[in-house]
Structure 1
Amino acid sequence: MTIPDQTRAQAQDLLNFIDASPSPWHAVQSVVQRLLAQGYKELKEAERWNLMQGGRYFVVRGGASVIAFRLGQRALAETGFRMIGAHTDSPGLRLKTHTAQASDGVVRLGVEVYGGPILATFTDRDLSLAGRVNIRTADGFTTRLLKFDTPQVRLPNLAIHMNREVNEQGLKLNKQTELPLIFGMASDKQNAREQFLGHVASTLDVNIDDILTYELNVFDTQPGAFWGAEQEFIADSQLDNLASCHAALTAMLSSEDASATNICAFFDHEEVGSESATGAGGSFAQDVIKRIANALGLDAEAQHCMLAQSFFISADMAHAYHPNFPNAYEPSHRVMVNAGPVIKTNANQRYATNADTAARFMTLCEAAGVPVQHYTHRTDLGCGSTIGPIIASRLGIASVDVGCPMWAMHSLRESAGVMDHGHMIAAMQAAFRS
């Protein structure tokens, strides 16, 4: 397989993006840094918006969701907008509020399961912690991002001598009693809470008593990598769904002078249902679109015209065919790695795709010169969902669900194809130009 230099560079940039973004808050920080470097201006929700035709803007809500947009060259009521949505969160482990506990000579950190991770993949990995910490100030508090670059915690497996059936029955972990992570040896001078918070405080150079709250998740410190006989695959954490965020952002930043207004919307909490102020089920997308329309002077009738002319691409990863498990797939819908973006369809509206929107995305792929695949889940297996149906129903716009094929979705170490990421960027560039 011949992989163009640009495509490989895009895949490497994706791995760099993921490795710098071990939490949803870090992911938004990574997005914002790239937006600022391209001349985008930050807007605040609590301030009035004054927008200029052709202007570039972004707004952050809750630290873990961000919507960026570039106003098009033509009137918004005539073209509508071209919007790509994805999510910043990934399934995994989150620290409990009172996380540290000392017993049997060690300090362990209690965790909650966030979303639907493959828990067994967290064992025997070089794990660390990342997220946000709220620090007391004279007039309230300030938020600091925290990322420990070196391994801080571990979830050791039980030896096979004490779990003889593990290879036949699979690794099963009790979420309450068997997931606490080993953090360190217990101290005679500090209790477990002081030992943990003291470590955080020292890293942030603050006092323990000034730490008010934190939201920290567990991540794998192993960096992303290319693999395969021709290095045609990539492996990393959080490909679901930071790969879609990266592809959409890259496409928007490289698509100049678009006729229609372009929007990238990246939401938190998709993995737990999206029903939050910062999730796709909240008002964030509607609020931003309404404020754009109001700032440009569109009356109610013009706003309806705007929505009728718009197109939304919900970008989330797709299930690639795994040759070791053929019975897990619908026989006529086996999508392959490095064979192009995937259009996802479900008759019960778990995906937003319909015949019209699928055809529209197919023509975009044709215009970009990239292949396209179609995926439908096995009828006798439960189908996951995305932000697609949520945004489509709230905005009332034509929508399609797509994604790059990948293996080991929701594993701590996921895999995908180098070519697919480049193909998805090209398809999204065509969407923003349309």
Structure 2
Amino acid sequence: MYEEIVSGLTSFIGKSPTAFHAAANLGAILYENGYQKLDEGEKWEIKPGGRYYVTRNDSSIIAMNVGEQLEDYCFKIAASHSDSPTFKIKENAEIQVRDKYMKLNTEGYGGMLCATWFDRPLSVAGRVVVREGKEYAAKLVNADRDLLLIPNMAIHMNREVNKGYSYNNQVDMLPLFGGSGCRKGDFKRLIAEELGVEEDAVCGMDLYLYNRMKPSVWGADKEFISCPQLDDLQCAYTSLTGFLAGADDHAVNVFACFDNEEVGSGTKQGAASTFLHDTLYRTNLCLGKGEEEFYRAASKSFMLSCDNAHAVHPNHPEKTDEGNCVYINEGIVVKSHAGQKYTSDAVSIAVFRGICEEADVPLQFFANRSDMAGGSTLGNIAMSQVSMNSIDIGLPQLAMHSSFETAGVKDSYYMVRAVGKFFDSPIEAISVRPQQ
């Protein structure tokens, strides 16, 4: 039961070193389950009972399972994000050091724990644009071998390092690529060879570092899982699995996974873009419905914003709120914030609580300490484009934004069950009568 989901999750993450790969692999799963790919630049034909998906920028994806009885319908959405904190390779990346080393110039993407990137095998992956005749084509690339490493400085050269060190991204975080035999141009040549194209055909690169360490299931009862990118590919994979397992015939059931959450979502493919609104509105029009019907449907709709949450740290329990703290393997987390960084409110909490009771899934509640700033996620950002009831949920984890994070074996199963029940539930089950 748990093992099958964890096996699928680790396989998915292993094949998804970047948001581009994650979106492609989510699309492959959808295609295998009978979903037809749409192109934003082409005319759409969407029919009741149909299954479709569409991508934007090759890094965000939205899928729709369209019900057949849509006289009075709504949208049911489970949303997550495809990106994780990492380091992006700069355009002119190669830096020679005294003709003895070649390192690569990078810059930070998102808020990572820098110390976790040292002294472990790394590689590079992402999207490359190549010229094919008079056209350009985007291609995925993954140098699937131990290629790079960011070496720590020996304690003998920094005796005070264990008392605290401030990492400089331009100095400390540059990966070693080669030795004295490496020359400028070798990196681009390697990428061209990986793609099987001429070096001159490579016209643009969106490349990122990724951690090569293999996933590990560990603990006294094998209750923990550690691997890269659990935030947020754990939610992306489990919410997709739940989406595929359930559907309401009176709804347009939607799975969404957005890029760029870790840097604010303010891109053409992020949650702050028009991608979700455009997709829902075009679907509504293709079904022969007008603007009035779209807004009526949106008013009855509901979104699960799925992004992982901070579990109580075993060495620092004081860092979490005493009464609103969560633990690994004890259920899905509902996240709330008085300043509205999370979308959860009394209405959405009541609805989701009922769904989890029906699914026999345990629920936990998280709030930040009132004297500490917390993070944010994509829920309230997406709602600025298309408004509906929404709740922010996630799975508890340790070491968020580490290059090797830890979560619970049971919790992935809980998310699949709850999301499946959400999509199976009738419209009435996700609605609350307004105040009289």
TM tier, smaller: over 0.9
What corresponds to 1:181 in structure 2?
A: 175
Unaligned runs of 5+ in 2: 426-436
- Post-superposition offset of 1:302: 1.2
CA deviations 1:29-63 (Å, max 9, x no partner) are: 11011011011000011111111111000001000
The reply to whether residue 127 of structure 1 matches residue 122 of structure 2 is: yes
What corresponds to 2:83 in structure 1?
A: 89
Report matched runs for 1:11-410 at 5 Å: 11-75=6-70, 78-104=72-98, 105-169=100-164, 171-187=165-181, 191-192=183-184, 194-256=185-247, 258-410=249-401
Taking the aligned partners of 1:44 and 1:263, their CA distance within structure 2 comes to 17
- Post-superposition offset of 1:184: 0.4
Range 419-428 or range 141-150, more displaced: 141-150
Q: For 1:238, give the aligned amino acid.
A: Q
Range 21-30 or range 130-139, more displaced: 130-139
Contact conserved, 1:102 with 1:186, CA < 8 A, in 2?
no
Classify the secondary structure of the residue corresponding to 1:186.
Answer: coil
Classify the secondary structure of the residue corresponding to 2:384.
Answer: helix
- Post-superposition offset of 1:257: 6.0
Unaligned runs of 5+ in 1: 1-5
- Post-superposition offset of 1:395: 1.1
- Post-superposition offset of 1:74: 2.1
CA deviations 1:101-159 (Å, max 9, x no partner) are: 11221110010100100011000011011101111111221111111121111001001
Contact conserved, 1:91 with 1:117, CA < 8 A, in 2?
yes
Contact conserved, 1:238 with 1:412, CA < 8 A, in 2?
yes
Q: For 1:109, give the aligned amino acid.
A: L
What corresponds to 2:422 in structure 1?
A: 431
The alignment's TM-score, normalised by the length of structure 2, stands at 0.95
Taking the aligned partners of 1:168 and 1:305, their CA distance within structure 2 comes to 58
Taking the aligned partners of 1:323 and 1:202, their CA distance within structure 2 comes to 46
Taking the aligned partners of 2:328 and 2:138, their CA distance within structure 1 comes to 40
CA-atom RMSD in angstroms: 1.1
Taking the aligned partners of 2:317 and 2:91, their CA distance within structure 1 comes to 42
Contact conserved, 1:106 with 1:184, CA < 8 A, in 2?
yes
Taking the aligned partners of 1:72 and 1:414, their CA distance within structure 2 comes to 38
Aligned length: 424
Taking the aligned partners of 1:231 and 1:334, their CA distance within structure 2 comes to 23
- Post-superposition offset of 1:259: 3.4
Q: For 1:148, give the aligned amino acid.
A: A
Taking the aligned partners of 2:288 and 2:57, their CA distance within structure 1 comes to 28
Taking the aligned partners of 1:433 and 1:319, their CA distance within structure 2 comes to 29
Taking the aligned partners of 1:212 and 1:265, their CA distance within structure 2 comes to 30
Taking the aligned partners of 1:123 and 1:254, their CA distance within structure 2 comes to 40
Classify the secondary structure of the residue corresponding to 1:111.
Answer: strand
Contact conserved, 1:73 with 1:259, CA < 8 A, in 2?
yes
Taking the aligned partners of 2:187 and 2:294, their CA distance within structure 1 comes to 52
Q: For 1:78, give the aligned amino acid.
A: D
Give the fraction of aligned pairs with identical amino acids, expressed as a percent: 36
- Post-superposition offset of 1:73: 2.8
Contact conserved, 1:357 with 1:398, CA < 8 A, in 2?
yes
- Post-superposition offset of 1:393: 2.7
Q: For 1:168, give the aligned amino acid.
A: K
Contact conserved, 1:54 with 1:72, CA < 8 A, in 2?
yes
Taking the aligned partners of 1:93 and 1:231, their CA distance within structure 2 comes to 31
Q: For 2:370, give the aligned amino acid.
A: T
Contact conserved, 2:332 with 2:394, CA < 8 A, in 1?
yes
Q: For 1:124, give the aligned amino acid.
A: D
Q: For 1:408, give the aligned amino acid.
A: A
Q: For 1:275, give the aligned amino acid.
A: G
Classify the secondary structure of the residue corresponding to 2:126.
Answer: strand
What corresponds to 1:3 in structure 2?
A: none
Classify the secondary structure of the residue corresponding to 2:204.
Answer: strand
Classify the secondary structure of the residue corresponding to 2:20.
Answer: helix
Classify the secondary structure of the residue corresponding to 1:78.
Answer: coil
Q: For 1:250, give the aligned amino acid.
A: T
